[in-house]
Amino acid sequence: MSLGRKVTHAVSWLAVAQVAQRATTLVVTAILARRLLPEDFGLIALTLLSVNFISYFQDMGLSAALVQRKELEDSHLDTAFWVNVGGGLIFGLLGVALSPLISAIFREPRLVLLLAVAMITLPINGLGWASHSLLQRRLSFKPIAIIEWVSVFFSGVTAITLALLGVGVWALVAQSIVASAVTSTGRLIAAKWFPGFSFSKVHFRELFTFSSGALGYFLVNHGMRNIDKAIIGGVLGTTALGFYSIAYNLILMPGMTICSLVGRVMFPALSSVQSDLARFRRAYLRMARTVAFATFPLIIGLAATAKIFITTIYSNRWAASVPLVQILVVIGFFEAIAIWGAAAWALGNTRMSLICAIISLVVMTIAFSVGVRWGLTGVAWAYVIASPIIFLLPHVWTNRLMGLRFGSFLEAIAPPLCAAGLMGTAVWLLISDGVRLFASNWANLIGYIGLGAVIYAFAMLMMAIVYSRQHGMLAWLVGRHLSEMEVQPQGAHS
């Protein structure tokens, strides 16, 4: 099977699974939001913030190194496996020991026990990381997709059951543990690989040459992505963090889901053609068009319907999240096109990612520290103001690595942006004027979603008719014609 067909097959499976996964997550979250309090979601956000940060030290970026490496021996896999499992045990125990300190930092005594229990996910996750990297190298995304959906389903059922039994935030902790157990078990079985009892210092050093840069990036990027939550939780409290988390996760869900979906496939795919920059650039532009085509209408549609979407899906209890969604739409847009990471890493350049992440962390820390004085909306606006530095800098740098003009990238995403903007404006104006399509809240929401879909599809169809005469409508929509764009190399990758 050709690389193109492998990528198409992989993306297709991941797309189906991601739709099912996100739909399941939305249903589970909606049910839990009606049974649990905003402060419960704030507590789990602080818990996972700490657990996930410690988990990066456990893996040290070895999983990414396994995918990127051109030649891989069994000893590389064995070494990475035992580092992950051993690191999970060591850092899990360290996390338990540090839980009182972390709890004191956030001035939330309930975190001590929550953190101690949640740390069990570290060694559990370590069991499956090497197998997951092996599946990615093979572009075996069908089992990956199935495993992830099954994990979301069973962990969601567990959380709902416990929430109905009245255990509160512990339902969310159990959800995390069950998800880790199901995911690691599935990865081990699907990869049909089990580790040998060997550890090679030579192979560890070979992997760490790449993974050290990845580790630095992961740590700084984790801080960058969670500094807003840390500041909100520490200054405004867990209830405010609960409102922010719902808005943040909702508006970033389309972009992070689809961008991650495509990026996970394109990282190993681009790695395999890293010596052919012309082919590399063509694949990158098509990826940009695909991501924009799928995400922009969802992001802008969510912002346009935020008022009726949140109050209908989550109940009026979460109305404070509505203005946050509407402000963070800018971040959702930038997040959707943050596909530069797959390209930079496929070219073996993790240093660039680390530098950009450090700059972003500094900028965001300053911005949020100032913005929090005006509450949640202040933090949201601070994010928007800082976003050009955070998101555009790595794009410009990555384009130079592969010799791609930024105008070519903009041309790839412009049609979906224009069509989604038209759709969002029309829907927002109708809702702002108090127009109800149906009497029922649920029917009204579904009606606006359907109306938005029709407007977006019509706008894209009209552009395809006008601009696709030389390429074919389907080819134009998915960006196949972008391979014909001329690109002027501006630098070499390193």
- Tens of pLDDT, residue by residue over 204-255, are 777 777 666 667 777 787 788 889 999 998 899 889 999 999 999 888 888 7
User: Mean of the pLDDT values across residues 355-360?
Assistant: 86
- Segment 93-151, tens digit of pLDDT: 999 999 999 999 888 899 999 999 999 999 999 898 888 888 877 777 788 888 988 99
Give the pLDDT confidence of 329-341 residue by residue, as tens digits. Answer: 999 888 888 888 7
Round to whole Å and give the CA distance between 111 and 106.
Answer: 9
Instruction: Provide the 8-state DSSP code for 237.
Output: -
Q: How far is CA 183 from the centre of its chain?
A: 17
The whole-chain average pLDDT of the chain stands at 83
Asked whether the beta carbons of 224 and 103 are under 8 A apart, the reply is no
Whether 281 contacts 291, CB under 8 Å: no
Confidence of residue 391 (pLDDT cuts 50, 70, 90): confident
* Token representation of residue 169: 């935030």
pLDDT tens figures, 429-465: 999 988 899 989 999 999 999 999 999 999 988 888 8
Residue 199 contacts by C-beta under 8 Å, 6 or more apart in sequence?
A: 78, 79, 82, 83
Here the tokens at position 433 are: 């004027």
Q: What is the pLDDT of residue 490?
A: 40
Nearest 10 degrees: Cα torsion 23, 26, 31, 32: 130
> What is the mean predicted confidence (pLDDT) over 306-317?
91
For the packed helices 141-164 and 238-271, what is the interaxial angle rounded to 10 degrees? 170
What confidence category does residue 67 fall into, taking pLDDT thresholds of 50, 70 and 90? confident
What is the distance in angstroms between the CA of the first residue and the CA of the last residue of the chain? 30
Contact 145, 14 (CB under 8 A): yes
SS3 call for 296: helix
The confidence score (pLDDT) of residue 478 equals 59
Is the pLDDT reported for residue 487 higher than 60?
Answer: no
Band of the pLDDT at 381, cuts 50, 70, 90?
A: very high
